[in-house]
Structure 1
């Protein structure tokens, strides 16, 4: 005769079930439409905010930026310590039409990664609205993007 008592599940089976469930949820979330997208540049990927319909039309969610060329230094921390990367963006109607990177490495390793970043950043940001730019890994460089994002924040303030 079946018992109405709850069954005890060994902890290791619960953990495996929870992990499988989380994996399934992650898979479903990855397949679901979202406002975030992944951009590939030089074999790397990074999250970026995709433009919404409102932002692409220049309505709510986007700012008006003055046309021109703007420069700022972005700061980040690498395993070697504090680093700086120079960023120059040319804007037209709030869209990036050109980007230049000025490398300020403190070590040979930083020089290598800033150089990789500089070689792939145009493919990631040219043609994008300034408000839609937030980079991560570019051409295998994961930390330089933090400095780039820092510089873009300063440029947004200058171009407003």
Structure 2
């Protein structure tokens, strides 16, 4: 799994002109991408990492401050544009695989006590945010080596 994590003062996601998820206080906007080898274990590890990531002011985490997260699916995180001008999406997991795993990240975060807002999987979403800092990280959570 890959995630782009941004420290924000506020963020929202709109589908068809309607706000479907929003946070209006400092927290994290998280774009999540899933690849073919990901499973529930990676979702749980990503959720734990996000919940404890100390990138909020004062080197605090969402768990320290009970700060909210806005989690949005983002298959383009597995886009590959190394060749030519048109990216390929072959490394991105198909929707029937990816959607339950993005949902699993959200479920795991909520089980840890997080307040989580979401986008709508597969929808044409418009994301608005105020990046704080700016602070932006790219996280990779890979399947354990055999």
Q: Which has the higher helix share?
A: 1
Return the index of the structure with the highest Cα Rg.
1
Structure with more relative contact order (C-alpha pairs < 8 Å, separation 6 or more): 2
TM-score, normalised via structure 1 length? 0.28
